[in-house]
Amino acid sequence: MMIVYDTYMCKCKLIFTIGCFQLSSIEHKRLREVSFANIQKHLIQRGVELRRSYPGIYSKLCNYVENDEPFLPVTIYPWNMKTGNQFVCIIMPESSDSAYSSKIHSTATENVETINISEVNQNPTE
């Protein structure tokens, strides 16, 4: 799961989730690969290159994908290069949206978009 907030009044904008699946180890690795690629696509859409801007987090995500090493939730504060606004981004690839989504949707006053980042061939649009 990846949650993105605007820092201005902390309005939740996007929730990226992979959901919970019972998968074989090969299927689980493929899910991690697809989810990581989609996280990068959605950040690049906002002008944020994870590998260049956050190399430590990028490396940890690579180890998570390749070696199934645990990835603890992490928060970053990148700038959206298209809008010039800073936003808060919480990356939690092993978390489903069920634990967080209802709280976020019930407290958020703005539109919240949930995107399943485990889907292949995503073309993010803003």
For 85-116, what is each residue's pLDDT tens digit? Answer: 887 787 877 765 555 555 444 444 454 555 66
Q: Provide the pLDDT for residue 111.
A: 45
Residue type, 69: E
Q: Provide the pLDDT for residue 56.
A: 97
Whole-angstrom Cα distance, residue 119 to residue 115? 9
Whole-angstrom Cα distance, residue 88 to residue 66? 26
pLDDT digits (tens, 9 = 90+) for 33-85: 988 998 999 899 989 999 999 999 999 999 999 999 988 888 888 888 888 88
Whole-angstrom Cα distance, residue 85 to residue 119? 28
